[in-house]
Amino acid sequence: MNTFTSGTARAALRVFLLLATLLTLAAPPAARASTAAAPFKVLALYSGTWDAAHIDFDKEADDWFPRQAAANGFTYTASTDWNLLSNGGVNAYQVVLFLDDLPQTAAQRAGFEQYMRGGGAWMGFHVSAFTTDAASWPWYHDQFLGSGNFRSNTWGPTSAVLKVEDRTHPATRNLPATFTSAVSEWYSWSNDLRQNPDIRILASVDPSSFPLGTDPNQSWYSGYYPILWTNTEGSRNTPETCRRDQPRRRAAGSRSATCRATASTPGRA
């Protein structure tokens, strides 16, 4: 079974539909009326130059997302031109995806921050959140995502029981108190999100999941691991940056690419 079109893909589609709803609700009534019939536009940026699993994932994403776009009323454009972030091209899109990378130049990073502060929406996959040097882009890693540096991961990939901590947010309103995830590789981060006043944690790893992992040397046996959270900074206490983190990696011998997905709804300065 193609793991991209299973749990993670369905989650991605649900986030897209949520983003579309939030973008519509955020618009003034007159704008809503004029754009009600217009599909929202998605731009996927990727590099496609390293790691066989990432390249496979890019190919699968560029097959799956256009089909979902046609079926669910949005448009999908894929590009390797990351300078669309710095030259204003990104402003023609309501949602931006990072499939296998993140902005590298100062101009690209500044353009992405401006896009998000102006009301853009974002979803990231694979290494789009990974870093061991959060200080190299503190706005993105420490403020926007809030996660800081990569700290550890579980291995091998397993499902986990996730506990919903806040069912008042649109992303979690219809979820049960706990649910079992798709098979994933789980990541933890250096920043304790519970200590960040702008972060509202929506779901975390339930203790019944421990030990999490199959390799005794790369398993989690206890601790607190947020999986879904929202960043409320600058939103008058309305959630604006929602990040879903479900790390995944393809198993040995598998031909299908899997992903870590993160998503953020519009942020405003």
The model's pLDDT over 35-90, given as tens digits with 9 standing for 90+, comes to 455 788 999 999 999 888 789 889 999 999 999 999 999 999 999 999 999 999 99
Residues 252-268 have pLDDT tens digits of 222 222 223 344 443 33
Give the model confidence (pLDDT) of 200-217 as tens digits: 999 999 999 999 999 999
Angular region, 41: left φ>0, alpha ψ -120 to 50, beta rest? beta
Closest-CA residue to 247 (of 258, 239, 256, 257): 258
Q: What integer pLDDT is reported at residue 35 of this predicted model?
A: 47
The set of residues, in sequence order, having a beta carbon less than 8 Å from that of 3 and lying 6+ positions away, is 182, 183, 248, 250, 254, 256, 257, 258
pLDDT computed for residue 134 by the predictor: 97
Q: For the chain, give every domain's residue range.
A: 3-264
Averaged over 27-41, what is the pLDDT?
A: 58
Mean pLDDT is lowest, of 11-20, 32-41, 94-103, for 11-20
Query: Is residue 150 a contact partner of residue 132, using CB atoms and an 8 Å limit?
Result: yes
pLDDT for residue 9: 47
Residue with tokens 């590099």: 47
DSSP alpha helix (H) spans, 52-138:
52-72, 106-117, 138
By the 10 Å C-beta count (0-12 exposed, 13-18 middle, 19+ buried), 35 is classed as middle
In CATH, which superfamily holds the domain spanning 3-264? Class I glutamine amidotransferase (GATase) domain (3.40.50.880)
**Would you state the pLDDT for residue 12?**
52
DSSP 3-state of 202: strand
Whether the CB-CB separation of 97 and 40 falls below 8 Å is answered with no
**Region at 235 (left for phi over 0; alpha for psi -120 to 50; beta for the rest):** alpha
How far is residue 130's CA from residue 81's CA, in Å, rounded to a whole number?
21
